[in-house]
Structure 1
Amino acid sequence: MDGGDMPYGFQCFDENTGAIILDVTDRLTRILGVINSDALENFTASVIIDTATAKSGDIFVFPLTQGAVMSLAGWEDRSRKIEINGSTITVTSINFPCIYGVY
């Protein structure tokens, strides 16, 4: 075998049925924290993810009430904005919690 066909990933099986209960072939999401605005209209905050963690995957932000996931670029809606710039996440006028991390 030259390594090109070598299987990789992680699988967990149910001990009774043998059914796969977790199948990860590439990477897992790592939640690092929550930005919580406490429902303030003009809330702005920035979070800096340490360099080693930021390099371990792609940064994402998930707003808990909007249903859109931002990765590497960001999201904007009128005056509300979520921006990812390098290892810094900035939220502006977001009045709902946002989970952030790497995947």
Structure 2
Amino acid sequence: MRICQNQFPNFDATLPEIDGFVDDSWKDDICPSLLNEDLNLKLMVDYIDPRLSEVGKQRAEGKRGRYSMHVPGEHTDIISSDNLSDILVAIAEVEAARSIRPSQQPKL
């Protein structure tokens, strides 16, 4: 059984499958999550129904999306969106930035 189902038995969706991300859900978080240790990214996946969400008011006001990604241990979102494709683009950008070797980084 997946961690999400154990930790959030009333979750009204399934977690997306994203290469490199694993279910890292913990009952003390506001919603289920996925973790990519290589990229050091955590993706929070909120309930579809905002009435079930701890941040439903923020979502209704457009201040937070259903998907929110941050660096573990930091709680400032890198991106927050209702659109999973926006999250996938952000992940690809992080992957591309991390693949640049130090000698290839632009000089400021």
Q: TM-score, normalised to structure 2's length?
A: 0.27
Q: Which has the larger radius of gyration?
A: 1
Which structure is higher in RCO with an 8 Å CA cutoff and minimum separation 6?
1
Structure showing the higher helix proportion among its residues: 2
Taking structure 1 as the reference length, what is the TM-score of the superposition? Answer: 0.28
